[in-house]
Amino acid sequence: MRRADATEEPAAFERRVYRNAAAHHYMKIGLVLESGERNIGAVQFKQLIVSAVRDLYGEVGGAFNFDVLCYDESALTAVLRVYNSGLVKLWSALTLLGSYKNKLCAVRVMQVSPFLLALSGNSRELDLD
């Protein structure tokens, strides 16, 4: 049996926690229009989001990058990629968006994840028949 010597220091314990180790977050969103129109292109969709962010935070506060990775024009859904530092601003601007071309609209945030693969499936829509 080993005897503890008085000169030995006890082992140091160091706890490391990594929060938001990923640089980006991915959001799956859908646009719901009161008029029911479906003729919004990808460029118009991104411009709608940019204007929503700038309306809420101004030019300087809204100057962060985000990307539209894929856009489904028939369903008006998109997958966005945003840096972690801009996630809350983007999410709040999308939530408070209320009109498009003077007609009522809403943006539904369906899924958010730091992993793009997590948006490929949704267990809430799973059919187990």
Q: What is the pLDDT of residues 42-87, one digit of tens each?
A: 999 999 999 999 999 999 988 899 999 999 999 999 999 999 999 9
Q: Are 58 and 9 in contact (CB under 8 A)?
A: no
Angstrom distance (rounded) from CA 81 to CA 113: 10
Structural domains in the chain? 24-115 (3.30.70.3250)
Record the pTM: 0.77
Q: Which residues contact 87 (CB under 8 A, 6 or more apart)?
A: 25, 27, 112
Backbone angles phi, psi at 10, to 5 degrees: -65, 155
- Of 1-5, 35-39, 60-64, 82-86, give the range with the top mean pLDDT: 82-86
